[in-house]
Amino acid sequence: MTDPRATALDFADVTVRRASTVILPGISFTVGRGEHWVMLGPNGAGKSTILSLAGGTAHPTSGTVDVLGHRLGRVELRALRERIGHVNPRHPLRSKLTTLDVVLTGLTGTVETMLRWTPTPEQQERAHHLLSIFGLADRVSATWPTLSQGERGRALLARALLTEPELLLLDEPATGLDVAAREQLLETLDVLPVTHPDLTTLLVTHHLEEIPSSVTHALLLRDGALLDHGPADRVLTTDNVTATFDHPIAVHREDGRWGARSDRRRSAPHPARLSPAGAGHA
């Protein structure tokens, strides 16, 4: 039996259906506390559905999902969500809040600043500290529309961490970033194991180049099926990634970072020909 004290996420035979469509066909995997996972797969593979389940914003049709030791359907979701941080680069802010104010909205879980709400001096100090860690100390008073996409990404990361979550979900955080901004974001993610050693992270991306070197585990999805999951060094192989995206892709790693390129010398193996480790827990 999985020890809930050592487990951040536990999916057991999880199926999700929408009308007559099967989104997830009974998948199982476990994420240990303090681990850093990346989830890869093409559009429509089921990544967003898994992220919704992990964030307590959706429920499985069958099977069980345990998040931070609590089973969905048996836990008060509002209290659970307070222990989960979420970074979404498509943050729907329309007003001219300052960077500091945007970070502070992480405490209220709102997009705009709540009326008649004032953060404590301690909360403001922590927001300043996070902005400093992420290289935004000189952008505290800048308004949201004036920030670059890279600065917004790091500000949203500080916002998600302000409540000191136990689980951090990152939904394609490098979306829209140029190369320099992407590298700055990845450098920021790479300091999390040092600054937040007990934090568990689950990052969703389409691109191996967007995987920080601090990632410890990987999960590969295709058509909702779990092709493989486990330690990143074992999972992120040329054969596995080729099967995941149904295209010949050569995977390489240098200085802790992954990369990929098209490999016309080989044909994509059919997913059924793989023997996925996803049949059990990693």
* pLDDT 10s digits, 70-108: 999 998 988 898 899 999 888 888 889 999 999 999 988
In this prediction, residue 110 has a pLDDT band, given cuts at 50, 70 and 90, of confident
Write down the domain spans for the chain: 91-164
Arithmetic mean of pLDDT, 229-252: 94
Q: Which residue stretches of 16-98 are H helix? A: 47-54, 77-81
* Measured distance CA(98)–CA(118) in Å, rounded: 15
Tokens, residue 86: 């979420």
DSSP 85-149: EEE-SS----S--BHHHHHHGGGTT-SSPPTT----HHHHHHHHHHHHHTT-GGGTTSBGGGS-H
* pLDDT 10s digits, 34-59: 999 999 999 888 999 999 999 999 99
pTM value is 0.87
CA of 173: how far to CAs of 157, 193, 206, in Å? 9, 17, 11
Q: Which residue stretches of the chain are H helix? A: 47-54, 77-81, 99-104, 121-133, 149-161, 179-190, 192-195, 232-235, 238-245
Triad 108, 157, 27: Cα angle to 5°: 95
* pLDDT 10s digits, 131-186: 998 889 999 999 999 999 889 999 999 999 999 999 999 999 988 889 999 999 99
User: Which range is most confident: 43-47, 239-243, 278-282?
Assistant: 239-243
The single residue listed with the structure tokens 């997830």 is 24
- Name residue 253's amino acid: R
SS3 196: coil
- Cβ-count burial 31-68 (b if 16+ within 10 Å, e if not): bbbbbbbbbbbeeebbbbbbbebbbbebebeebebbbb
End-to-end Cα separation, the chain, in angstroms? 14
The single residue listed with the structure tokens 């099977």 is 63
Arithmetic mean of pLDDT, 209-235: 94
